[in-house]
Chains A and B, each alone.
Chain A
Amino acid sequence: MNANGRLSTWAAALVIARRDFAAIILSRSFIFFLLGPLFPVLIGGFAGGIGQRVQASASQPVLGIAMEQKDAAAMLAARDALAPHVGDALPDLVVVKTLRRGEAFNPQATLAARQANASAIVTGTPAAPALTGTAEQIGDWQGPVSMIAAQALGQGPAAYPPVTLAAMATNTAQQRHGQVLTAQAAQLLLFLLTMLLAGMVLSNLVEEKGNKIIEVLAAAIPMDAVFLGKLFAMLAVSFVGIAVWAGAYGLFAIAAGDALPSLPEPAVGWSLFVMLGIAYFSMAYLLIGALFLTIGSMATTVREVQTLSMPVTFVQLVFFFIASFALTAPGTIWEWTAIAVPFSSPFAMLARAAQDPAVWPHVAALAWQGLCIGLLIRIGARLFRKLVMKSGPAGRVSKKRGLLARLRPARA
Chain B
Amino acid sequence: MLQRTYAWVRAVDDVSFDVYSNETLGIVGESGCGKSTLARLVLRLIEPDAGTLRFAGEDVRAARPPRMKRLRRDMQLVFQDPYASLNPRLTIEDAVAFSLLVHGRPRAEARERARALLGRVGLDPRLYGRRYAHELSGGQRQRVNIARALVLDPKLLVLDEPVSALDKSVQAQVLNLLSELKLERALTYVFISHDLNVIEYVSSRVLVMYLGEVVETGSAEALSRSPKHPYTQALFASAPTMDPDRRMDRPPLSGDPPNPIDPPSGCRFRTRCAFAMPQCAQAPPALRAMGPDHAVACYLYEDAPATTTAAGR
Chain A partners chain B:
no
Chain B: residues with CB nearer than 8 A to chain A? none
